[in-house]
Amino acid sequence: MLPLLGGTQRCFWAVLLLALTILLLACFLHLDVELLVPLLEDQTRGPPITNIMFLKTHKTASSTVLNILYRFAETHNLSVALPAGSSYHLGYPFLFLARYVEGVTPHGPPSRFNIMCNHLRFYPPEVRKVMHRDTFYFSILRNPVSQLESAFTYYRHSVPAFQHAASLDAFLEAPLAFYNASAGLLNAHARNNMWFDLGFDPDGPAHEEGYVRARLAEVERRFQLVLIAEHFDESVVLLRRLLRWRLDDVVAFRVNARSPGSAARLSAESRARARRWCALDWRLYQHFNRTLWARALAELGPRRLRADVERLRARRRQLAERCLLRGAARGNGSAAADWQLRPFQSGEARIQGFSLRPGLDEATRRLCRRMATPELQYMAHLYALQFPEKPPKRVDLSV
Helix ranges (DSSP H) in 244-327: 247-250, 268-277, 279-299, 302-323
Cβ-contact 333, 377 below 8 angstroms: no
pLDDT of 10 reads 58
Cβ-contact 339, 369 below 8 angstroms: no
Cβ count within 10 A of residue 337: 8
pLDDT of 2 reads 38
pLDDT of 34 reads 39
- From first to last of its 399 residues, what are the pLDDT tens digits of the chain? 434 445 555 555 665 566 566 556 545 544 333 344 444 455 447 899 999 999 999 999 999 999 999 999 999 999 999 999 999 999 999 999 999 999 998 877 778 999 999 999 999 999 999 999 999 999 999 999 999 999 999 999 999 999 999 999 999 999 999 999 888 899 999 999 999 999 999 999 999 999 999 999 999 999 999 999 999 999 999 999 999 999 999 999 998 887 777 777 899 999 999 999 999 999 999 999 999 999 999 999 999 999 999 999 999 999 999 999 876 666 554 555 577 888 888 766 778 888 899 999 999 999 999 999 999 999 999 999 999 999 999 988 764
pLDDT of 1 reads 40
Q: CA-to-CA distance for 80 and 113, rounded, in angstroms? A: 6
From residue 68, how far is each of 183, 263, 370 by CA, in Å? 35, 25, 9
List CB contacts of 231: < 8 A, sequence separation 6 or more: 289, 292, 293
pLDDT of 142 reads 98
Q: CA-to-CA distance for 360 and 352, rounded, in angstroms? A: 22
pLDDT of 146 reads 97
pLDDT of 347 reads 66
How far, in whole angstroms, is CA 271 from its chain's centroid? 25
pLDDT of 106 reads 82
With left for phi above 0 and alpha for psi between -120 and 50, is residue 398 left, alpha or beta?
alpha
